Amino acid sequence: MAGKLFAKHVVRKIFLEDWGLKVIALVITLGLWFGVTGLSTPTVQRFNVALTPRISNNAEITNALPAEVDIVLSGDKRKLEQLNNSDLTATLDLTDVVPGDRVISLTPDNVYVNLPPGIKLSEIQPGRIAVNLEAVEEKELEVRAETKGAPAAGFEVYASVVSPPRVKVRGPASVVRTLDSVETATIDLAGKKNDFTAQQIALNVANAKATVFNTVVDVFFRIGERRVERAFTIPVTGLDGRTVSFIIYAPRTLLSQTKPETFKVEMILNDKGEEEPQVSLPPELRDVAEVRKLRLNP
C-alpha cells in the first residue's frame, strides 16, 4: 500500500505540479535544439576566388592561367555565410608536375583552400585547365651600356666600362636561350667633357619572363678631346736600316705635341712564333691612343 502511494506521489509530482515552469523549460529546450540543428544542417554554397599556382623552383609557367575559379563549399550554414570571396584563395599544387604541355584536373586533392573547421571543398570549376610548365635555366650575359646624346663639341667617348661586366639571368629555357645580352637603362652623355661614373643604373631584359640577378650596375665613361690620326715612320730598334710606318689615333692637342722620337719600335715574337714589330707609346698616350696600320717597310 505504501509503495502505491509513493508511486502516485511521484507521478503527480512529475506530471501535475509546476506546469508553468515545465512548459517554459520545454519551450527553451526545443528552441535550442531546433536552433542548433537548423544552423548546423549541411548546406552548399558557390564562391568565385583567385587561383594561385604553386610550382617548384626549377620550373615556370609560360602560358596564361585563369585568374579565378569557382569553388563549391559544403558544411555548416552559419560558417558559410560568414565567408567572403576576398577571404579565399584556391592554391593549385603543381610542384610534382613534370615540365611540358599539360592538361591538369582541378580537384580537392590538388587544390587547397584555407577553410574553417566544418567546411570542406567539394568541387572546382573549371575542372581542367591547360598548363605549359617549362624547365628553368640560368645563363650569364654581357651587359651593354645604352646611351643617348653626345659629349660636348670637340669631345668624344674613349671607352665605357660596366661593373659588373656580366650578369646572370634566370627564366624559362626557351626564353633564356634567345638572349645574348642585357642592356642598361639609357644614360645621358649630352654635354659631357670629363670622365664620369653613372651609378646604380637599372638593367633591362628583352623578355619580361627572364629575371636578372643583379638589378643595377655602375658604368664608367672615359671622355676626352676628340681624337685625330697622324702618320709616323721611325726606325726599328736592332734592325739597321729598317723602318716601320704606323698611324696614331689620339687627342688632337696631345698628338700635335708628340715627336717621333718618343715612340720605340722593336721586333717581338707573336703567338705563331713569327717576328713582328711592336710600338711602345709614351706615357701620356698609353691610355688614350691607338696604334693603327702598323707595317714593316722593306
pLDDT one-digit tens code per residue, 156-214: 999 999 999 999 999 999 999 999 999 999 999 999 999 999 999 999 988 888 999 98
Task: Please choose, from the candidates 286, 266, 264, 261, the residue with its C-alpha nearest in 3D space to the C-alpha of residue 277.
Answer: 266
Q: What per-residue confidence (pLDDT) applies to 46?
A: 94
Please check whether residue 192 is in contact with residue 151, taking contact to mean a CB–CB distance below 8 angstroms. Answer: yes
**Residue 199 belongs to what H/E stretch?**
strand 196-204
Q: What per-residue confidence (pLDDT) applies to 206?
A: 86
Q: Three cell numbers at 8?
A: 502516485
Q: What per-residue confidence (pLDDT) applies to 10?
A: 46
- CA gap 288, 159 in Å, rounded: 9
Residue 126: is the preceding peptide bond cis (ω within 30°)? yes
Q: What are the beta bridge partners of residue 185?
A: none
Q: What per-residue confidence (pLDDT) applies to 11?
A: 47
- CA gap 221, 148 in Å, rounded: 13
273-280 long-range Cβ contacts below 8 angstroms, 24+ apart: 277/236, 277/244, 279/244, 279/246
- CA gap 38, 265 in Å, rounded: 104
- CA gap 221, 147 in Å, rounded: 11
Q: What per-residue confidence (pLDDT) applies to 39?
A: 47
- CA gap 37, 147 in Å, rounded: 74
Query: In tens digits, what is the pLDDT along the chain, a chain of 298 residues?
Result: 555 554 555 445 555 555 565 556 555 665 554 455 544 567 899 999 999 999 988 899 989 999 999 999 999 888 888 998 888 999 999 999 999 999 999 999 999 999 999 899 999 999 999 999 999 999 999 999 999 999 999 999 999 999 999 999 999 999 999 999 999 999 999 999 999 999 999 999 888 889 999 899 999 999 999 999 999 999 998 888 899 999 999 999 999 999 999 999 999 988 888 889 999 999 999 889 999 999 999 8
| Side chain identity, residue 292 | R
Q: Is 112 exposed, middle or buried (0-12, 13-18, 19+ CB in 10 A)?
A: middle
Q: What per-residue confidence (pLDDT) applies to 279?
A: 95
Residue 168 neighbours by CB under 8 Å, 6+ apart: 138, 139, 140, 141, 212, 213, 214
